[in-house]
Amino acid sequence: MSVDVIETSPASAVARLRATFASGRTRSARWRIEQLRGLERLLAEREDEIRTALAADLGRSSAEAFIGDIGATKAEVVHARKRLRRWMRPRRTGLPLTALPGRGWFQYEPLGVVLVIGPWNYPFYLTIGPMVGALAAGNCVVVKPSEHAPRSSAALAELLPRYLDPEAVAVLEGDAEVTQDLLAQGLDHAFFTGGTEIGREVMRAAAARLTPVTLELGGKSPVIVTAAADLEVAARRIAWLKLMNSGQTCIAPDYVLVERAVRDEFLDLLASTMRTFRAGDHESGMRVVNERQFTRLAGLLGTSGGEVVIGGGADRAATAIQPTVVADPDPDSALMGQEIFGPILPVLTVDSLDEAIAFVNARPKPLAAYLFSRRRGEHRAVLDRTSSGGVVINHLAFHCMSPQLPFGGVGDSGIGSYHGRWGFETFSHRKAVVSKPSRPDLSLLYPPYTDSKMRIIRRFF
């Protein structure tokens, strides 16, 4: 297949993909599996190029590039490929007495031409990941990478058409205007990963054409550390995810609520762990994606109140923020009012688990919630009394790293879910089917509806 496909506009790209979808070739299991194998080859053969792009855009280390983008994406692709034929099977159902004799089932059909709008923070995992579900479901896909990760965007534009069917996948680079132009085409689904405010804009534009959306957003994901926690493990695991990708992770811990009885010990362990994890790093701190994000984060540091336990420095020339822990900031400060999305971690003191739960519930529903405790009763309290996209107990992020589980937000943190089977279903239409024989053909169903007929009909309802 030729890969010399140059897109001149969103309209021409979508028209080309609609023609491909209309041909019917994307519907077969064979075609879908070929696309998934293509993604596997891309990740295996172009790992060095992906690492280089991530280092240029985000300052990522080789290890973080593999863990956060390459390995996680590969796991998603392999999981789908191995299970795809099973997912595609029609599902038999029962029928009510009124529909007998007959058979009922539902089957999955692809939606058509779908849009994946990728973010800058994990530009390969969070762009290719949704594509896995879209291709597994038999769709044609338009990809709009983030312009804020230009090297990664260019790599996706070059590599995806080389490893996938170039008549079924289009990559359009550009800014928000390109996204709006794509949404104006009346696509069959739009999948967006990014911030809540931009998510609202995407949803408004999609609504004008009745395009259904999946929104993977963010929010302030809390960590609750009770007196029953293993504090050393909690500090290590919280520091690990908070510092991954300079804190620019949608499910990173945004703030910690720690019980007063263990507050000082936990803070000491957290600061010590952060120093160990970042030993040898440049003194200026951890690089963030651009100057705009740097300015925002530096501003949060300057207005939070509270005690800086570790870090607090910022280097504008390097667009770098030191890993920072702020103890007991003002709950009404900007630091506690917006998603941080950087290497700054507020730690607030609470007197009980009930107080922590009330604090979480007084704020918009987060994408993730985390609890560190060895008491099952406390596990159940958080699960039953809080609402979030997902929960991890005694660790972080593993709900996102498990393709056997649905991943998505609730309320302000998102609409819909994906990963594994849930990605396949997000990009599929579940078509209900009833098949009945021509005979018998009961006259009871047809007019005129006499009193005697209606007495019989009423018995069925």
Per-residue pLDDT tens over the stretch 67-124: 999 999 999 999 999 999 999 999 999 999 999 999 999 999 999 999 999 999 999 9
What whole-number distance in Å separates Cα of residue 322 and Cα of residue 254? Answer: 16
How far is CA 319 from each of CA 120, 297, 312, 326, rounded to the nearest angstrom? 16, 10, 14, 20
- Give me the pLDDT at residue 285, please: 83
The H-or-E segment that residue 414 falls in is: strand 414-415
Q: What is the mean pLDDT of the chain?
A: 96
Q: What tens digit of pLDDT does each residue of 162-178 get? A: 999 999 999 999 999 99
Can you list the domains of the chain with their CATH numbers? Answer: 10-217+413-433 (3.40.605.10), 222-400 (3.40.309.10)
| Per-residue pLDDT at 8 exceeds 90 | no
Q: What does the block give as tokens for 341? A: 């999305």
What phi and psi, each to the nearest 5 degrees, are found at residue 130? -65, -30
pLDDT at 3: 52
Bridge partners for 236 per DSSP: none
Cα distances from 310 to residues 224, 252, 307, in angstroms, run 20, 18, 9
Q: Which helix (H) or strand (E) holds 72?
A: helix 72-88
* 397-448 pLDDT per residue, tens: 999 999 999 999 999 999 999 999 999 999 999 999 999 999 999 999 999 9
Active-site residue set: 216, 250
Helix axes 29-45 and 150-163, enclosed angle (nearest 10): 130
> In whole angstroms, what separates CA 90 from the centre of its chain?
27
For 269-317, what is each residue's pLDDT tens digit?
999 999 999 876 666 689 999 999 999 999 998 888 899 999 999 999 9
